[in-house]
């Protein structure tokens, strides 16, 4: 197995170096083979320059012209890594420290052959969140519950972004036809994986709320996710096969 870890950034100067240091320690154990692509949306705080100054030969920076949404950043990363045949697993991971390097070994161990998705999951036995108020936990749980019922996907954490996608899965999807930009990108990818009949494995993780920097969560992102999920749910009920034709090659 060889993996590429995609890390989208926008103003993560205070956190990205620490994350890369943690990944370097894991990489040096020689148990796991992976490289990293930092996808930077032209951060004013010079996040990309900080990454490049570290001079890590296993880390590259994909520089984008402007802040353009989480979904578009990841799709740009997917396109780049899929053009390189040496990687068969693609990890998505936040730069703010909320996704722990310590949880990666268990996620790697859960990879299955063929089309697969491994989801780092907060809301199953063994999973937890740190430094989140009850209101934020309720919002996350409610969002997953609503999306699960609307879309008919029996997963416990549809909004989490700590995941591993197999190349076979991503190659089977019409990624260019997807358009979710905010955190509902995570829901759209889970839906696409479900429609592609991918094997889904949930691994408990500890999600740690960021200490440094500023959260990207906003009311607009929540509203976008609600509207998009409702639209997808209605479409699935009116035309059950339409989504599969849209998402799966």
Instruction: Give the closest residue to 176 by CA, choosing from 247, 236, 231, 245.
Output: 247
Domains of the chain, CATH where assigned: 3-247 (3.90.550.10)
3-state SS assignment for residue 218: coil
Over its length of 249 residues, how does the chain's per-residue pLDDT go in tens digits?
899 999 999 999 999 999 999 999 999 998 999 999 999 999 999 999 999 999 999 999 999 999 989 999 999 999 999 999 999 999 999 999 999 999 999 999 999 999 999 999 999 999 999 988 898 899 889 989 999 999 999 999 999 999 999 999 999 999 999 988 877 899 999 999 999 999 999 999 999 986 665 655 567 777 878 888 998 888 887 777 777 878 999
Instruction: Give the closest residue to 60 by CA, choosing from 83, 94, 35, 79.
Output: 35
Q: List, in sequence order, every beta strand (DSSP E) within 32-167.
A: 34-40, 59-63, 89-92, 116-121, 128-130, 163-166
Q: Please report the pLDDT score of residue 226 as a whole number.
A: 84
3-state SS assignment for residue 96: coil
Contacts of 91 (CB under 8 A, 6+ apart): 3, 4, 5, 6, 34, 104, 107, 163, 164
In Å, the largest CA–CA distance within the chain is 52
This prediction's pTM: 0.93
The DSSP bridge pattern shows strands 34-40 and 59-63 to be parallel
Q: Please report the pLDDT score of residue 224 as a whole number.
A: 79
Q: Give CA–CA dist 15/20, Å, rounded.
A: 9
Q: Give CA–CA dist 181/49, Å, rounded.
A: 25
Distances (CA, A) of 52 to 48, 62, 63: 6, 11, 11
Q: Please report the pLDDT score of residue 102 as a whole number.
A: 97
Q: What distance, in Å, lies between the first and last C-alpha atoms of the chain? A: 25
Q: Please report the pLDDT score of residue 215 as a whole number.
A: 57
Place of tokens 């950034």: 9
Q: Please report the pLDDT score of residue 22 as a whole number.
A: 97
Q: Please report the pLDDT score of residue 247 as a whole number.
A: 92
């Amino acid at each position: 197995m060889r993996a590429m870890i995609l890390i989208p950034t926008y103003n993560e100067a205070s956190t990205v170096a620490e994350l890369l240091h943690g990944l370097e320690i894991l990489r040096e154990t020689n148990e796991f083979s992976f490289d990293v692509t930092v996808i930077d949306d032209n951060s004013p705080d010079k996040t990309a320059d900080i990454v490049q100054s570290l001079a890590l030969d296993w880390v590259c920076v994909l520089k984008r012209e402007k802040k353009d949404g989480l979904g578009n950043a990841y799709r740009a990363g997917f396109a780049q890594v899929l053009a390189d045949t040496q990687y068969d697993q693609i990890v998505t991971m936040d730069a703010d420290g909320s996704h722990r390097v310590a949880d990666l070994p268990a996620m790697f161990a859960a990879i299955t052959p063929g089309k697969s998705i491994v989801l780092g999951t907060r809301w199953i036995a063994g999973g937890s969140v740190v430094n989140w108020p009850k209101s934020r936990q309720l919002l996350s749980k409610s969002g997953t519950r609503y999306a699960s019922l609307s879309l008919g996907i029996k997963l416990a954490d549809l909004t989490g972004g700590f995941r591993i996608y197999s190349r076979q899965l991503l190659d089977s999807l019409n990624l260019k036809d997807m358009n979710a930009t905010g955190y509902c990108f995570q829901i759209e990818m889970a839906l696409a994986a479900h429609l592609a009949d991918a094997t889904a494995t949930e691994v408990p993780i500890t999600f740690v709320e960021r200490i440094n920097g500023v959260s990207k969560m906003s009311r607009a992102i929540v509203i976008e996710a609600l509207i998009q999920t409702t639209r997808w749910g209605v479409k699935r009920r009116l035309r059950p096969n339409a989504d599969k034709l849209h998402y799966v090659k």
